[in-house]
Amino acid sequence: MQNLIWYEKHRAKHLKELVLPIKTKKPLRSFLRQREIPHLLFHGPAGSGKTTVARILIDSCAGASLILNASSSDRGVGTIKTRVKQFAASKHQGDKLNVVLFDEADGLTADAQMALKNTIETYHSNCRFIFTANNFDHMIRPIVSRCVQLEFTNMDLVMVIGWAQNILDKEKIRYDKMDVDKIVKRFYPDMRTIVNNLQACSIGGKFKIKNALSAFNRGGDIIKLLGKGDIRKIRQIIAGSTDFVWLYRLLFEKFVNTCPDDIQPEIIVSIAEYLYRDRTVADREINFVACLVDTANLLETDITF
């Protein structure tokens, strides 16, 4: 199954395979040489390689590891008091430390973070923590201040394009370089979304760009259709889309100011709520359509499915 998902199939296993700026790679190389890490906080946009780097460090530096995702049931204080505390306290043979990876750590509850602060302090001699976050503003200062922070941004666009072409070459896909450029520039810096769209465009062995950019090219149509409550046609346009964050931004930047002034604040709050849910829901398309329905209801517009 993993080989069917390009992003997992082509996930880097070594630091040299990653498209990262020198200022980010330099300290990571030092950690790998020493085979020891401090507490770490990786932050940057979704799909920028944070989790991949964390796994590379774990493979090299950890005696044992516990991998958790704070956007799921792992986000609460119960997880910290049971699984994390027990693992951090455990001993094993050899001189390597335990390592806990908290993916999407900005999703941890406030109570969980307070409990985690104490756990980090208590088991520092035996365990290290790696946190990844798209935005660590929701993380408490005592945790942030205990970590070495590395920002995953400013990847060289030319190198990313070359990396994307290399994936297509490995998959033996015929492609036009200009089409690959368009995909990369559209979804940069989200490497995961870039790969997902490369795969979506490569069905049949030839790279076809049309489907991946159909929603992007029809932003104006989406705005007009939402004003009419025509959810059915919008669903046809966004079918197969993977970049829902862009769709929420389209509503915020282009649609809100077409609405009556008195309901604009409510629509903005609704968009923000569905955008927040986007990273945790089982089906992102259903979540976006629900946002469209709420928006149409606020406009008191008849809805067509």
Residue 244 has pLDDT above 90, yes or no: no
Residue 208 has pLDDT above 50, yes or no: yes
Average pLDDT in the 67-86 region? 89
Average pLDDT in the 136-164 region? 93
Measure CA 37 to chain center: 23
E strands, 202-283, in order: none
Q: Helices (DSSP H) in 90-243: which residue ranges?
A: 110-122, 141-144, 157-170, 177-187, 191-200, 214-217, 219-228, 231-238
- Residue 82 is predicted with a pLDDT of 93
Residue 77 has pLDDT above 80, yes or no: yes
Average pLDDT in the 229-256 region? 88
34 pLDDT tier (thresholds 50, 70, 90): very high
Predicted TM-score (pTM) of the model is 0.77
Instruction: Kindly give, in sequence order, each residue whose CB lies less than 8 Å from that of residue 298, ignoring residues fewer than 6 positions away.
Output: 263, 266, 267, 270
Q: Is 91 in contact with 80 (CB distance < 8 Å)? A: no
Tokens of 60: 């090299």
Q: Is 129 in contact with 142 (CB distance < 8 Å)? A: no
Residue 232 has pLDDT above 80, yes or no: yes
214 pLDDT tier (thresholds 50, 70, 90): low
What is residue 141's three-state secondary structure? Answer: helix
Q: 209 in the Ramachandran plot: left (φ > 0), alpha (ψ -120 to 50) or beta?
A: alpha
Residue 206 has pLDDT above 60, yes or no: yes
Average pLDDT in the 137-148 region? 92
- Residue 257 is predicted with a pLDDT of 93
120 pLDDT tier (thresholds 50, 70, 90): very high
Average pLDDT in the 39-57 region? 94
- Supply the DSSP symbol for 304: B
Average pLDDT in the 58-71 region? 92
Taking alpha carbons only, the member of 61, 100, 96 closest to residue 84 is 100
- Residue 239 is predicted with a pLDDT of 77
- Please enumerate, as own/partner, the contacts of 10-19 that have beta carbons within 8 Å and a separation of 24 or more: 10/167, 10/170, 10/195, 11/52, 12/49, 12/52, 12/56, 13/56, 13/59, 14/56, 15/53, 15/56, 18/49, 18/52, 18/53, 19/49, 19/155, 19/156, 19/159, 19/160, 19/163, 19/191
Residue 119 has pLDDT above 60, yes or no: yes
Instruction: Kindly give, in sequence order, each residue whose CB lies less than 8 Å from that of residue 255, ignoring residues fewer than 6 positions away.
Output: 223, 226, 227, 267, 295
Residue 268 has pLDDT above 80, yes or no: yes
Of 56-65, 69-78, 181-190, the range with the highest mean pLDDT is 56-65
1 pLDDT tier (thresholds 50, 70, 90): very low
- Residue 212 is predicted with a pLDDT of 67
Taking alpha carbons only, the member of 7, 1, 17 closest to residue 242 is 7
Backbone φ and ψ for 173, nearest 5 degrees, come out as -100, 135
- Residue 258 is predicted with a pLDDT of 94
Average pLDDT in the 88-115 region? 89
Average pLDDT in the 298-305 region? 90
- Residue 3 is predicted with a pLDDT of 58
Of 31-45, 196-210, 228-242, the range with the highest mean pLDDT is 31-45
Distance CA 157, CA 142 (A): 35
Instruction: Kindly give, in sequence order, each residue whose CB lies less than 8 Å from that of residue 125, ignoring residues fewer than 6 positions away.
Output: none
211 pLDDT tier (thresholds 50, 70, 90): low
